[in-house]
Structure 1
Amino acid sequence: MAVGKVTFSKVEREKLAEVLWLLNWISVVTGTILFGLGLFLRVEIHKWQEVMSEQGILYVPDMLITTGLAACCINFFGGKICLDCADTNKFLRWKLVMMPYIICTFFFTSCVLAGALMCYGIRSQMEESLFMGLRNAMRYYKDTDTPGRCNLKRTVDLLQIQFQCCGNTGYRDWFHIQWISSRYLDMSSSAVVDRMRSNVEGKYLMDGVPFSCCSTFSPWPCIQHHLSTSSTQDKQSQQLNLWRRGCRQALLDHYTGIMQSIGLTVLLIWLFELLVLTGVRYLQTAMENVLRLGDPESESDGWILENSLAETARSNFNIIKNLGKCYQVDDDPNINVPTAAAEEELPS
């Protein structure tokens, strides 16, 4: 029994072809939107790629960019096919192309859905990437003279100022790393030498933060040093002195908002593309049945699947299972030896 069987008259087939032609051109626009969203997301990730541990998350914008380009090409081609399929004679030119076109459109539509799901499922990977990347960026914050790390200080400072955050999970993260370059330390000072000797790794650690952690809403000068002393902790000004939120959470919220908006848009595009795919399938089957009937003016049935889901799956499985049988070699030694009956039938 056919799945989704619908009967179309000649006028209804023509209207369906015209509507699909219009929808395919709209799909070209949605493909451009997909491409633009992927490009926008790639640029946003590239802005702060220095504070990310890996670039594996770029597969999401790359997926959207590739899918968008494929949508423009496939739907541009599909619009021409659907417009010609309104006429029986023109349909004959595309009859053999329709099924490969529908299969390509099906895989493309599946990629659109995969792109939408990726936008919602990347949060945990993004969080881990930001945690590791920010930890390394803070560790190399002081290495302004080291090739490959000379811009990290500027990047981290811009990040903390723009997103109003401090440290990885909070401002106290700066207490556990040496963020002041050794060339700015007075090695003749006994206090500096003693502080470095007191650390196992010989680092100059202090209960202070970079200037970029200072809150711009503080009504008094920023307190950057001796933040763990009791005299500083007792001040009410401490709550307004520094940014309290960690940069990992700030960036994660930023990218999550973008991903959710893009994911919703891509999901709507997928529903639209699914509608177009369904319409093209109905048009293909209805026109093929018209050719079988031999009367262009008659009504014809269209469907999504000619048989039930179970029968279709079983049929496809058997086709795949028997694909290699035509290439198998029979090992029978007598395969080319004529039988006695065959020899008697041969002319003398």
Structure 2
Amino acid sequence: MAVLKVKFTKTRRGKLAQVLWILNWVSVVTGLIIFSLGLYLKIEIRKRSELMISRDLQTVPNMLIAVGTIACVINFFGGKICYDCSDANKFTRWKLFMLPYIICTFFFTFCVFAGAIMCYTMRNELETALYRGLKDALKYYKDTDIPGRCFLKSTIDMLQIEFHCCGNNGFRDWFEIQWVSARYLDMSSKEVIDRFKSNVDGKYLLDGVPFSCCNPSSPRPCIQYQITNNSAHYNYDYLLEDLNIWLRGCREALLEYYDQLMQTIGLTVLIVWLFELSVLTGVRYLQTAMENVLVLGDPESESHGWLLENSCMETAKQNFKIIKNLGKVNQISTLSGKSDPNMDIPIADYGPDNVPPSSIPTVS
């Protein structure tokens, strides 16, 4: 029994073909939207690639770009097919092409759905990449005269200013690294020498942060040095007073930014997937309805359209049998030699001489 069987008159078939023609052209636009979103995401990730250590972050944008491109191509041809299928005579030209087209479109819609899901599952990988990347970037903040690292200081400063953040997890990350280059330190100063000797690693550590961590909205002048020293500043208690530097870490800020971006893109792609699924359903109804018209032989007659000709279980069994038979054919084709016309066993299986038993003379 057919699944979701619907009766179509000639007028309804014509209207369905016209609507599908319009929807396919709308789908070309949605394909361009997916392509644009993938390209935008790719650019946003590349802009901060110095702060991320991962090889797989481009998988999602590349997937969206590929899906968007394929959507434009498939729906462009789909519009032409639906436009011709309004006429039974023109449908005969596309009859053999319709089923492969529907199967390819079905797998394409699955790829669109996979792209939407990937947008929501990217967070963990992105968080790991940011944690490792920001940690290394902060460590090389002072290396402004080393090729390959000379732009990291500017990158970190602009990041902290733009996203109102400080450090990797927070402003205390700056206390654990030497972020002032040795070329700007007076090595003859006793204070500088004492700071180098005050820790095991021999680094110049400060309880201070770069200027880009300062909050410009604070009414008090920025306290970026001796942040934890209450006696160094008048009327100051770093445990009680709201600090006039950014307290949020840059990893958290970037994750929040990319989360919002990925959720927006994922929701858009999911809506496009539902739209593509509805177009595919309409094309399937149009195909089956027009094929039944050809069977009846009367273009003016009513015809039935359906999603599946048989029930889901019967269709699954039929497909399983087809796949099983294909497997047997491939298995037989891998055997060497020709097959005996009188038997199903290839000659190669008879023995080393390739002589069938029927041709060996018997001794009476």
Q: TM-score, normalised by structure 2?
A: 0.89
Encode CA deviations 1:279-306: one digit per residue, 9 max, x unaligned: 0011111111111222222211111111
- In the alignment, what sits opposite 2:258? 255
Task: Summarize the Cα distance change of 1:141–1:282 in structure 2 as closer, same or farther, 3 Å threshold.
Answer: same
Task: Note the 1:226-245 alignment, pairs <5 A.
Answer: 226-231=226-231, 234=237, 238-245=241-248
Q: Does 2:220 align with 1:217?
A: no
Equivalent residue, structure 2, for 1:158: 158
Helix, strand or coil for the counterpart of 1:7? Answer: strand
CA distance 1:236–1:229, shift in 2 (3 Å): closer
Structure 1 CA distance, aligned partners of 2:185 and 2:55?
35
1:45 is the counterpart of 2:62 = no
**Aligned match of 1:314:** 317
Name the residue aligned to 1:285: 288
Taking only the aligned residue pairs, the percentage that are identical comes to 64
Contact 2:143–2:181 (Cα < 8 Å) also in 1: yes
User: Which stretch of the first structure deviates more once superposed, 186-195 or 280-289?
Assistant: 186-195
C-alpha deviation, 1:235, in angstroms = 5.7
Contact preservation (8 Å) 2:218, 2:244: yes
Q: Distance in 2 between matches of 1:150 and 1:319?
A: 62
SS of the aligned residue for 1:322 comes to helix
Does the CA contact (< 8 Å) of 1:49 and 1:55 recur in 2?
A: no
Matched, 1:333 2:336: no
Equivalence map 1:263-282=2 (5 Å): 263-282=266-285
Contact 2:33–2:68 (CA under 8 A) maintained in structure 1: yes
Whole-angstrom distance in 1 between the partners of 2:92 and 2:124: 51
Q: Secondary structure at the match of 1:317?
A: helix
* Structure-2 separation of matches of 1:181 and 1:337: 88
2:81 and 2:101 map into 1 onto residues whose CA distance is: 9
- What residue identity is the alignment partner of 1:288? E
Q: CA deviation at 1:230?
A: 3.2
1:189-228 matches, cutoff 5 A: 189-228=189-228
Give the residue type in structure 2 aligned to 1:63: M
Superposed displacement of residue 336, structure 1: 7.9
Query: What is the total number of aligned residue pairs between the two structures?
Result: 340
User: Is structure 2 residue 120 aligned with structure 1 residue 103?
Assistant: no
Q: CA deviation at 1:339?
A: 6.7
Task: Give the aligned partner of residue 134 of structure 1.
Answer: 134
| Aligned counterparts, 1:75-94, within 5 A | 75-94=75-94
Moved more, 55-64 or 270-279: 55-64
Match of 2:308 among 282, 305, 310: 305
Amino acid at match of 2:12: E
Q: Is the 8 A contact 1:41 1:61 kept in 2?
A: yes
* Letter in structure 1 aligned against 2:292: N
Query: CA shift at 1:95, angstroms?
Result: 0.8
Q: One-letter code of the match for 1:111?
A: C
* Conserved 8 A contact 2:116-2:269: yes
Question: Deviation at 1:237?
Answer: 9.1
C-alpha distance in structure 2 between counterparts of 1:338 and 1:295, whole Å: 58
Any gaps of 5 or more consecutive residues in structure 2?
A: 336-344, 360-364
Structure 2 CA distance for partners of 1:339 and 1:9, relative to 1, 3 Å: farther
Alpha-carbon offset, residue 16 of structure 1: 0.7
d(CA) in 2 for partners of 1:165 and 1:55?
A: 25
Deviation (angstroms), 1:43: 1.6
Question: Structure 2 vs 1, CA of residues 338 and 89 (structure 1 numbering), >3 Å: closer, same or farther?
Answer: farther
Residue number in structure 2 paired with 1:29: 29
Change (3 A) 1:103 1:144: same
Contact kept, 8 Å, 1:32 with 1:72, in 2: the verdict is yes
Amino acid at match of 2:277: L
Matched residue of 1:307: which SS?
coil
CA shift at 1:228, angstroms? Answer: 1.6
Structure 1: segments with no counterpart, 5+ residues: 341-348
Give 1:191 deviation, angstroms: 2.0
Q: Which amino acid aligns with 2:89?
A: N
2:113 aligned partner: 113
1:157 Cα deviation from its structure 2 partner? 0.1
Are residues 338 and 92 of structure 1, via their aligned partners in 2, closer, same or farther at CA, if it must alter by over 3 Å? farther
Q: Decide whether the 8 Å contact of 1:217 with 1:240 is kept in 2.
A: no
Return the alpha-carbon distance in structure 2 between the equivalents of residues 39 and 209 of structure 1.
35
Give the superposed CA RMSD: 2.0
What is the DSSP-based 3-state SS (H/G/I as helix, E as strand, rest coil) of the residue aligned with 2:242?
helix
